[in-house]
Amino acid sequence: MPSTHSWLSIPADSDFSLFNLPIGVFHTGDQRPRAGMAIGNHIVDLAAAAEAGLFGKRRFFVKIFTQATLNGFIALGKPVTNRVRKKVQDWLSLPQKPENASNILVERGKATMLMPIQVPNYTDFYSSIEHATNVGKMFRPDNPLLPNWRWIPVGYHGRASSIVVSGTPIRRPKGQILPPGGAPDTPVYAASRQLDFELEVAFVIGKESALGEPIPVEKAEEYIYGLVLFNDWSARDIQRWEYVPLGPFLGKNFGSSISPWIVPLEALKPHRVKGPKQTPAPLEYLKTKGAKNCDIALEVTVKTQGQDKETLICRSNTKYLYWSMAQQLAHHTVNGCNVQVGDLLASGTISGPTPDSYGSLLELSWGGKNPLNMADGSTRTFLQDGDTLTIRGWAGENGAKIGFGEVSGAVLPAL
131 is catalytic: yes
Pairing of strands 272-273, 174-177: unpaired
- How far, CA to CA in Å, does 212 sit from each of 75, 203, 236? 20, 22, 36
Phi first, then psi, for residue 360 (nearest 5°) are -155, 155
Residues 6 or more apart in contact with residue 279 via CB below 8 angstroms: 150
Cβ atoms 201, 229 nearer than 8 A: yes
Phi first, then psi, for residue 162 (nearest 5°) are -105, 15
Pairing of strands 256-258, 163-165: parallel
Give strand pairing partners of 122. Answer: 344
Nearest partner of 403 among 414, 388, 412, 391, judged by Cα: 391
- Residue 277's Cβ-count burial label (10 Å; 0-12, 13-18, 19+) is exposed
The letter for the amino acid at 218 is E
The full DSSP string for 99-115 is TTHHHHEEEGGG-EEE-
In angstroms, rounded to a whole number, what is the distance separating the alpha carbons of residues 40 and 23?
13
Cβ atoms 134, 363 nearer than 8 A: yes
In angstroms, rounded to a whole number, what is the distance separating the alpha carbons of residues 12 and 8?
12
Nearest partner of 168 among 82, 254, 70, judged by Cα: 254
Nearest partner of 11 among 49, 45, 38, judged by Cα: 38
From the list 5, 27, 42, 131, the catalytic residue is: 131
Nearest partner of 254 among 194, 176, 170, judged by Cα: 170
In angstroms, rounded to a whole number, what is the distance separating the alpha carbons of residues 289 and 276?
13
Nearest partner of 394 among 384, 404, 381, judged by Cα: 404
- How far, CA to CA in Å, does 324 sit from each of 50, 119, 129, 138? 36, 21, 12, 25
Q: CB atoms < 10 A from the CB of 91, how many?
A: 19
Residue positions annotated with a catalytic role? 131
